[in-house]
Amino acid sequence: MQMIEKVSAAVKFLKEKGFDNPDVGIILGTGLGALTEEIEIIHEFVYANIPHFPIATVEFHKGKLIYGRLNNKTVVAMQGRFHYYEGHSMGQVVFPVRVMQMLGIKKLIISNAGGCMNLDWKKGELMLLEDHINLQPDNPLRGHEASAFGQIFTDMSQPYDPEMNERLLEAANENEIKLNKGTYVSVVGPSLETRAEYRFLRMIGADVVGMSTVPEVIAANQMGLPVSAISVLTDECDPDNLQPIDIEDIIATAKTAEKKLVVLIKALLQKL
Protein backbone atom coordinates (compact mmCIF):
# COMPACT_ATOMS: atom_id res chain seq x y z
CA MET A 1 0.00 0.00 0.00
CA GLN A 2 1.32 3.44 -0.96
CA MET A 3 1.98 6.02 1.76
CA ILE A 4 -0.77 8.32 0.47
CA GLU A 5 -3.24 5.43 0.80
CA LYS A 6 -2.13 4.77 4.39
CA VAL A 7 -2.45 8.46 5.28
CA SER A 8 -5.88 8.62 3.64
CA ALA A 9 -7.03 5.55 5.60
CA ALA A 10 -5.93 7.13 8.88
CA VAL A 11 -7.65 10.41 7.97
CA LYS A 12 -10.87 8.59 7.05
CA PHE A 13 -10.83 6.70 10.37
CA LEU A 14 -10.24 9.86 12.42
CA LYS A 15 -12.91 11.87 10.60
CA GLU A 16 -15.40 9.09 11.20
CA LYS A 17 -14.46 9.21 14.90
CA GLY A 18 -15.14 12.95 15.13
CA PHE A 19 -11.78 14.59 14.33
CA ASP A 20 -13.61 17.29 12.39
CA ASN A 21 -11.62 20.01 10.59
CA PRO A 22 -9.15 21.06 13.32
CA ASP A 23 -7.60 24.55 13.13
CA VAL A 24 -4.14 23.85 14.55
CA GLY A 25 -1.86 20.85 14.95
CA ILE A 26 0.51 20.58 17.92
CA ILE A 27 3.44 18.18 18.38
CA LEU A 28 4.57 17.82 21.99
CA GLY A 29 8.17 16.75 22.51
CA THR A 30 10.03 14.85 25.20
CA GLY A 31 8.70 15.65 28.67
CA LEU A 32 6.35 18.28 27.25
CA GLY A 33 2.89 16.76 27.64
CA ALA A 34 1.38 19.20 30.16
CA LEU A 35 -0.40 21.22 27.47
CA THR A 36 -2.88 18.36 27.10
CA GLU A 37 -4.12 19.15 30.62
CA GLU A 38 -5.27 22.52 29.26
CA ILE A 39 -7.16 21.03 26.30
CA GLU A 40 -10.89 20.43 26.56
CA ILE A 41 -10.59 16.89 25.19
CA ILE A 42 -13.35 15.73 22.86
CA HIS A 43 -11.72 12.59 21.45
CA GLU A 44 -8.42 10.79 21.99
CA PHE A 45 -6.87 7.63 20.57
CA VAL A 46 -3.68 5.79 21.39
CA TYR A 47 -1.57 5.55 18.26
CA ALA A 48 -1.90 1.77 18.12
CA ASN A 49 -5.64 2.13 17.47
CA ILE A 50 -5.25 4.42 14.45
CA PRO A 51 -4.77 2.66 11.09
CA HIS A 52 -1.13 2.63 9.91
CA PHE A 53 0.08 4.96 12.69
CA PRO A 54 3.59 4.17 13.94
CA ILE A 55 4.01 3.24 17.60
CA ALA A 56 5.97 5.50 19.96
CA THR A 57 8.70 3.41 21.59
CA VAL A 58 10.31 6.08 23.81
CA GLU A 59 9.28 5.33 27.38
CA PHE A 60 8.49 8.94 28.31
CA HIS A 61 6.32 9.52 25.25
CA LYS A 62 2.62 8.84 25.87
CA GLY A 63 1.58 7.94 22.33
CA LYS A 64 -1.85 9.57 22.03
CA LEU A 65 -3.57 11.68 19.41
CA ILE A 66 -5.87 14.21 21.08
CA TYR A 67 -8.68 16.27 19.54
CA GLY A 68 -10.28 19.11 21.46
CA ARG A 69 -10.64 22.82 22.17
CA LEU A 70 -7.96 25.18 23.46
CA ASN A 71 -8.35 28.97 23.62
CA ASN A 72 -11.27 28.94 21.17
CA LYS A 73 -9.36 26.89 18.62
CA THR A 74 -9.97 23.30 17.63
CA VAL A 75 -6.66 21.48 17.96
CA VAL A 76 -5.26 18.05 17.25
CA ALA A 77 -2.28 17.33 19.49
CA MET A 78 0.32 14.59 19.38
CA GLN A 79 1.25 13.58 22.91
CA GLY A 80 4.49 11.89 21.93
CA ARG A 81 6.24 11.96 18.56
CA PHE A 82 8.31 9.60 16.43
CA HIS A 83 12.06 9.66 15.90
CA TYR A 84 14.30 8.21 13.21
CA TYR A 85 16.48 6.64 15.93
CA GLU A 86 13.57 4.43 17.01
CA GLY A 87 13.93 2.55 13.74
CA HIS A 88 11.09 4.30 11.93
CA SER A 89 11.46 5.34 8.30
CA MET A 90 11.31 9.07 7.59
CA GLY A 91 7.91 8.44 6.01
CA GLN A 92 6.70 7.08 9.34
CA VAL A 93 8.27 9.95 11.29
CA VAL A 94 6.28 12.54 9.32
CA PHE A 95 3.17 10.38 8.89
CA PRO A 96 1.21 12.28 11.59
CA VAL A 97 2.02 15.66 10.03
CA ARG A 98 0.59 14.49 6.74
CA VAL A 99 -2.48 13.12 8.53
CA MET A 100 -3.06 16.38 10.43
CA GLN A 101 -2.70 18.44 7.26
CA MET A 102 -5.23 16.26 5.45
CA LEU A 103 -7.56 16.53 8.45
CA GLY A 104 -7.57 20.27 7.78
CA ILE A 105 -5.12 22.03 10.12
CA LYS A 106 -4.02 25.48 8.94
CA LYS A 107 -1.04 25.91 11.29
CA LEU A 108 1.44 23.57 12.98
CA ILE A 109 3.19 24.19 16.32
CA ILE A 110 6.11 21.95 17.32
CA SER A 111 7.97 21.64 20.61
CA ASN A 112 11.10 19.72 21.44
CA ALA A 113 13.68 19.24 24.17
CA GLY A 114 17.18 20.21 23.07
CA GLY A 115 20.73 20.52 24.28
CA CYS A 116 21.92 24.12 24.59
CA MET A 117 25.29 24.82 22.96
CA ASN A 118 24.99 28.62 23.06
CA LEU A 119 26.91 29.48 26.21
CA ASP A 120 25.00 32.77 26.63
CA TRP A 121 21.84 30.80 27.43
CA LYS A 122 20.92 28.53 30.33
CA LYS A 123 18.99 25.28 30.70
CA GLY A 124 15.35 25.85 31.48
CA GLU A 125 15.12 28.68 28.92
CA LEU A 126 13.33 28.48 25.57
CA MET A 127 14.51 29.01 22.00
CA LEU A 128 12.35 29.97 19.04
CA LEU A 129 13.61 28.24 15.90
CA GLU A 130 14.52 30.77 13.20
CA ASP A 131 16.37 28.22 11.07
CA HIS A 132 17.76 24.71 11.20
CA ILE A 133 20.55 22.44 10.01
CA ASN A 134 19.59 18.93 8.96
CA LEU A 135 22.24 16.32 9.77
CA GLN A 136 19.87 13.36 9.73
CA PRO A 137 20.89 10.79 7.09
CA ASP A 138 17.56 10.64 5.29
CA ASN A 139 14.90 13.06 4.09
CA PRO A 140 11.12 12.57 4.28
CA LEU A 141 10.80 13.75 0.67
CA ARG A 142 13.11 11.04 -0.71
CA GLY A 143 11.45 8.40 -2.88
CA HIS A 144 8.60 8.34 -5.35
CA GLU A 145 5.85 8.10 -2.71
CA ALA A 146 6.63 11.54 -1.28
CA SER A 147 5.55 13.29 -4.50
CA ALA A 148 1.92 12.51 -3.64
CA PHE A 149 2.13 15.21 -0.94
CA GLY A 150 3.57 18.04 -3.06
CA GLN A 151 6.74 19.23 -4.77
CA ILE A 152 9.69 17.16 -3.54
CA PHE A 153 12.14 19.95 -4.40
CA THR A 154 10.60 21.99 -1.61
CA ASP A 155 11.95 25.47 -0.99
CA MET A 156 13.41 25.75 2.51
CA SER A 157 14.66 29.34 2.41
CA GLN A 158 12.21 30.25 5.19
CA PRO A 159 11.11 27.03 6.92
CA TYR A 160 9.53 28.73 9.95
CA ASP A 161 6.55 31.02 9.47
CA PRO A 162 7.53 34.68 10.10
CA GLU A 163 4.04 35.73 11.20
CA MET A 164 3.68 32.91 13.74
CA ASN A 165 7.19 33.57 15.03
CA GLU A 166 6.41 37.25 15.46
CA ARG A 167 3.24 36.43 17.41
CA LEU A 168 5.26 34.11 19.69
CA LEU A 169 7.83 36.84 20.35
CA GLU A 170 5.00 39.24 21.19
CA ALA A 171 3.50 36.67 23.56
CA ALA A 172 6.87 36.15 25.25
CA ASN A 173 7.31 39.89 25.74
CA GLU A 174 3.76 40.31 27.09
CA ASN A 175 4.24 37.46 29.56
CA GLU A 176 7.83 38.37 30.53
CA ILE A 177 9.19 35.05 29.26
CA LYS A 178 12.72 34.91 27.88
CA LEU A 179 12.48 33.50 24.35
CA ASN A 180 15.84 33.19 22.66
CA LYS A 181 16.05 33.04 18.87
CA GLY A 182 18.41 30.72 17.06
CA THR A 183 19.29 27.71 14.93
CA TYR A 184 18.47 24.09 15.73
CA VAL A 185 20.53 21.20 14.40
CA SER A 186 18.88 17.79 14.06
CA VAL A 187 21.08 14.71 14.49
CA VAL A 188 20.24 11.02 14.50
CA GLY A 189 20.88 10.01 18.11
CA PRO A 190 20.07 8.32 20.36
CA SER A 191 23.58 8.59 21.77
CA LEU A 192 24.54 12.07 22.95
CA GLU A 193 27.36 14.13 21.48
CA THR A 194 31.06 14.07 22.28
CA ARG A 195 32.95 17.23 23.21
CA ALA A 196 34.39 17.40 19.70
CA GLU A 197 30.93 17.01 18.17
CA TYR A 198 29.52 19.85 20.28
CA ARG A 199 32.40 22.07 19.11
CA PHE A 200 31.73 21.08 15.49
CA LEU A 201 27.98 21.71 15.72
CA ARG A 202 28.56 25.11 17.30
CA MET A 203 31.15 25.93 14.65
CA ILE A 204 28.70 25.27 11.80
CA GLY A 205 26.17 27.68 13.30
CA ALA A 206 23.86 25.74 15.61
CA ASP A 207 22.66 26.98 18.99
CA VAL A 208 20.66 23.92 20.06
CA VAL A 209 20.96 20.23 19.17
CA GLY A 210 18.21 17.62 19.13
CA MET A 211 16.96 14.46 17.45
CA SER A 212 13.61 15.56 16.02
CA THR A 213 11.55 18.40 14.51
CA VAL A 214 13.39 18.97 11.22
CA PRO A 215 11.74 16.05 9.34
CA GLU A 216 8.29 17.28 10.42
CA VAL A 217 9.16 20.85 9.38
CA ILE A 218 10.31 19.66 5.95
CA ALA A 219 7.06 17.71 5.47
CA ALA A 220 4.99 20.71 6.59
CA ASN A 221 6.78 23.00 4.14
CA GLN A 222 6.21 20.53 1.31
CA MET A 223 2.46 20.70 1.98
CA GLY A 224 2.40 24.49 2.35
CA LEU A 225 1.63 24.27 6.08
CA PRO A 226 2.91 27.23 8.15
CA VAL A 227 4.94 25.99 11.12
CA SER A 228 6.65 27.37 14.22
CA ALA A 229 8.81 25.46 16.67
CA ILE A 230 10.15 26.05 20.18
CA SER A 231 12.97 24.18 21.92
CA VAL A 232 13.05 23.73 25.67
CA LEU A 233 16.72 23.89 26.65
CA THR A 234 17.13 20.90 28.93
CA ASP A 235 20.91 20.69 29.37
CA GLU A 236 23.98 22.83 28.85
CA CYS A 237 26.44 21.43 26.34
CA ASP A 238 29.69 23.22 27.10
CA PRO A 239 32.46 20.99 25.71
CA ASP A 240 35.00 22.47 28.14
CA ASN A 241 32.82 21.65 31.17
CA LEU A 242 30.82 18.66 29.95
CA GLN A 243 29.05 16.59 32.57
CA PRO A 244 27.73 13.03 32.11
CA ILE A 245 24.16 13.10 30.80
CA ASP A 246 21.31 12.54 33.23
CA ILE A 247 18.08 11.72 31.39
CA GLU A 248 16.03 12.13 34.58
CA ASP A 249 17.43 15.64 35.04
CA ILE A 250 16.61 16.45 31.40
CA ILE A 251 13.01 15.33 31.90
CA ALA A 252 12.75 17.29 35.16
CA THR A 253 14.08 20.45 33.49
CA ALA A 254 11.61 20.00 30.63
CA LYS A 255 8.76 19.64 33.13
CA THR A 256 9.73 22.87 34.88
CA ALA A 257 10.26 24.87 31.69
CA GLU A 258 7.13 23.64 29.94
CA LYS A 259 4.99 25.93 32.10
CA LYS A 260 6.39 28.80 30.02
CA LEU A 261 5.88 26.82 26.83
CA VAL A 262 2.20 26.27 27.68
CA VAL A 263 1.73 30.01 28.24
CA LEU A 264 3.27 30.82 24.85
CA ILE A 265 1.28 28.22 22.90
CA LYS A 266 -1.99 29.33 24.48
CA ALA A 267 -1.16 32.98 23.75
CA LEU A 268 -0.27 32.15 20.14
CA LEU A 269 -3.62 30.41 19.64
CA GLN A 270 -5.37 33.56 20.82
CA LYS A 271 -3.42 35.62 18.30
CA LEU A 272 -3.96 33.36 15.27
Tell which residue, 150, 140, 129, has the closest CA to residue 233. 129
Give me the CATH number covering residue 45: 3.40.50.1580
Q: For 44-54, give one letter per residue: b (16+ CB within 10 A) or e.
A: bbebeebebbb
- Asked whether the beta carbons of 138 and 91 are under 8 A apart, the reply is no
What's the chain's average pLDDT?
Answer: 93
pLDDT in tens, 169-206: 999 999 999 999 999 999 999 999 999 999 999 999 99
Confidence (pTM): 0.94
Q: Domain range spanning residue 238? A: 3-271
pLDDT in tens, 132-172: 999 999 999 999 999 999 999 999 999 999 999 999 999 99
DSSP-based three-state secondary structure for 148: helix
- E strands present in 51-122: 64-70, 73-79, 107-116
The number of domains in the chain is: 1
pLDDT in tens, 208-227: 999 999 999 999 999 999 99
